[in-house]
Copies of this chain bind each other. A is one copy, B any other.
């Protein structure tokens, strides 16, 4: 045997994280394998010892987002993961629609960073994306999960819509106005 299993796992994880960052910044199709491997401190040839194709990397990268946790990342808003469900939902709304989240492109939610890329991607990638959407729905369901699914879905729509628009606009004032309007509305719904 050469190297350890763990060594290989760590290298692969480094590639995935490097890819996730670059995908968020430039979109799935504006990032080359060479670029990803360089950011991970490797050369492009080794890529195929870890993945059978670039498509496979897409899936792993989007799946790796699920582990992302706003608490550690968007430092202008505090989220207490041990809070009561309704309180947590409220904090998540603020975190999701925060300036920190908008500007932290590297760690941004894939639903904001990659919507149209995913819309045209392979079924496996879309499934990874669906898992991310459902995880978010769950957070916004609060304590009465079963009764408030519709409410949770509309909060997700407002949050994602507000942020997608904000990220697309160069006009900072308008982007902020939209985020503020979306935040207010999301809080109104969640009650």
CA distance A27 to B120 in the complex (A): 8
Residues of B within 8 A of A174 (CB): 130, 133-134
Residues of B within 8 A of A185 (CB): 154, 157-158, 185, 189
Contact of A116 among B114, B149, B150, B178 (CB under 8 A): B114
Q: Nearest residue in B to A136 (C-beta to C-beta)?
A: B165
Residues of B within 8 A of A113 (CB): 116
Q: Which of A4-12, A72-80, A121-129 binds B?
A: A121-129
A182 touches B157 (CB 8 A): yes
Tell me, yes or no, whether A111 is within 8 Å of chain B by CB. yes
Chain A contact residues, majority secondary structure: helix
What 1/0 mask marks residues of chain A from 78 to 100 whose CB sits below 8 Å from any chain B CB?
00000000000000000000000
CA distance A157 to B156 in the complex (A): 11
Q: Nearest residue in B to A121 (C-beta to C-beta)?
A: B168
Interface residues, chain A, CB within 8 Å of chain B? 26-27, 29-30, 111, 113-120, 123, 126-127, 129-130, 133-134, 149-151, 153-154, 156-162, 164-165, 167-171, 174, 177-178, 180-182, 184-185, 189
